[in-house]
Amino acid sequence: MMINKVCILPRHWFNSRVVKHTTRRASLSSSSCCDELIRRYDDTVNSVTTLTLNNPKKYNVLSSAVLDAMQLQLDDIAANDSISVLVIRSTGNAFSAGHDLKEIHAHGTNEETVALFQKCSKLMMSVNKLPQPVIASVQGIATAAGCQLVASCDLAVAANEATFGVSGINVGLFCSTPAVALSRNVHAKQAMHMLLTGDLISSEQAVAYGLINKAVSMDTLEAETMMLAKKVASKSNYAIRLGKDVFYKQLQCDDLKDAYELTTERIASNFQHDDTKRMIAKFVNK
């Protein structure tokens, strides 16, 4: 059921300061690392890495510093062949309230605003183009760029209490950049309803829209997310990377024939991979 209430965020949501951050790589088995804004945990046993937005007092706004810290982590993860799946989650009551409007207002000039949104767009494209599948684990409100981040992930699991919105319209701002990811996940009329009204939708409605895969109880959110992550990570690393890449590329094909030509080439090359040959041989020789 749609939640027909306006998402007007409290003033203190936007009062986040730019915090100096450092980024360190975790290298030990089942190791963890953290900075002031982003925590990273590498489960090397299951080949699952978790990035946690860690600014709960500011509702995990995607400030410039957060975007920088997260981009560094994504670049590192993309180059790591031992990581099969990435999970993105948050601490506190909000997944992310989106951009820090106070920070944007302080930038002042159009050039500075463009640079900030380019930085955010680069991050969202990095999530989409990351070789590894990315799963969002959403425990609370995800609005504006926070909703955009959920939509940019390949899979999403949310708590029943979580809500989603692109509420910029409530302060006179159409969420143009979040609309890019949103419109590639949900039907145009559903996306436009969210964009033009600023209404929040429930997890149940988000499942129906196709924005998330599953809504679960808050108590089981972490377990459900990790069960999904480990299940995907248990598959052929080569196949899931090839699959993610070709899935999005075939969607960009204007002609159905081009899509089939691309996927025919990829599935044929998939058959020739050593891991695939071994697994098929094991299956047919049962």
C-alpha–C-alpha distance, residues 57 and 59, integer Å: 6
Please report, in tens digits, the pLDDT of each residue of the chain (286 residues total).
444 433 334 333 333 333 333 333 333 334 444 458 999 999 999 999 999 999 999 999 999 999 999 999 999 999 999 999 999 999 999 999 999 988 888 877 899 899 999 999 999 999 999 999 999 999 999 999 999 999 999 999 999 999 999 999 999 999 999 999 999 999 999 999 999 999 999 999 999 999 999 999 999 999 999 999 999 999 999 999 999 999 999 999 999 999 999 999 999 999 999 999 999 999 999 8
For the chain, the first-to-last Cα distance in angstroms comes to 48
C-alpha–C-alpha distance, residues 165 and 89, integer Å: 17
User: Which residues have CB under 8 Å from 53's CB, separation 6+?
Assistant: 37, 38, 60, 66, 70, 88, 89, 90, 91, 95, 96
Contact 126, 74 (CB under 8 A): yes
Q: Phi, psi (5° rounding) for residue 9?
A: -80, 140
Q: Please state the pTM of the whole predicted model.
A: 0.87
The CATH homologous superfamily for domain 2-233 is 2-enoyl-CoA Hydratase; Chain A, domain 1 (3.90.226.10)
| Domain residue ranges of the chain, discontinuous segments joined by + | 2-233, 237-284
Cα dihedral 197/200/203/208 (nearest 10) = -10
pLDDT digits (tens, 9 = 90+) for 211-252: 999 999 999 999 999 999 999 999 999 999 999 999 999 999
